[in-house]
Amino acid sequence: MAFGALTLQPRAKWRRAPGGTDASGAPNWYPALGLLRRVIVLPHFDRMAARMGRETLALLAASVPVGLTLIGVDEDTALVRLPDGPPSAGPSPWQVMGRQGVSVFTGDGEVHHTAGATLMLELDGE
């Protein structure tokens, strides 16, 4: 699995202080493995989104650093880079595989892609 917990860790995590919120009211981003330098992955996204609610999810999406893409990968699902040559700075083809789907967040909002969908994403380059 391209973004499985044992192969790639999320680029960052959100830490909450006691009482359910952090001191600033905004997410705290921390470095992760960085195998894909332009992506922040939210694993088990279907469960995570249900727990955090739409308001918190909107705050999280709005806080993504410029130049990074936020991707929510549902449970039992993977986003796999299709072979089309070596990683490059341009968009590459990725396919949603598994039981559920993947949500990609941009400045225009959230787009959900179901299993079997192929999308072009710029995740590999510097």
84 in a domain, yes or no? Answer: yes
117 in a domain, yes or no? Answer: yes
Three-state SS string over 34-87 comes to: CCCCCEEEEECHHHHHHHHHHHHHHHHHHCCCCCCEEEEECCCEEEEECCCCCC
69 in a domain, yes or no? Answer: yes
Task: Judge whether 23 and 69 are in contact, CB under 8 Å.
Answer: no
32 in a domain, yes or no? Answer: no
5 in a domain, yes or no? Answer: no
**How many whole angstroms separate alpha carbon 66 and alpha carbon 98?**
29
**How many whole angstroms separate alpha carbon 88 and alpha carbon 126?**
9
66 in a domain, yes or no? Answer: yes
Q: What is the pLDDT along the chain (126 residues), one digit of tens a residue?
A: 333 222 233 333 444 444 455 445 566 666 777 777 788 888 899 998 888 888 888 888 888 888 888 899 999 999 998 987 776 667 889 999 999 999 999 878 899 999 999 999 887 655
The residue segments making up the domain with residue 43 are 39-121
DSSP summary character for residue 11:
S
What is the pLDDT, as a whole number, of residue 108? Answer: 80
78 in a domain, yes or no? Answer: yes
pTM for this entry: 0.76
- If one counts the domains in the chain, the total is 1
**How many whole angstroms separate alpha carbon 107 and alpha carbon 126?**
20
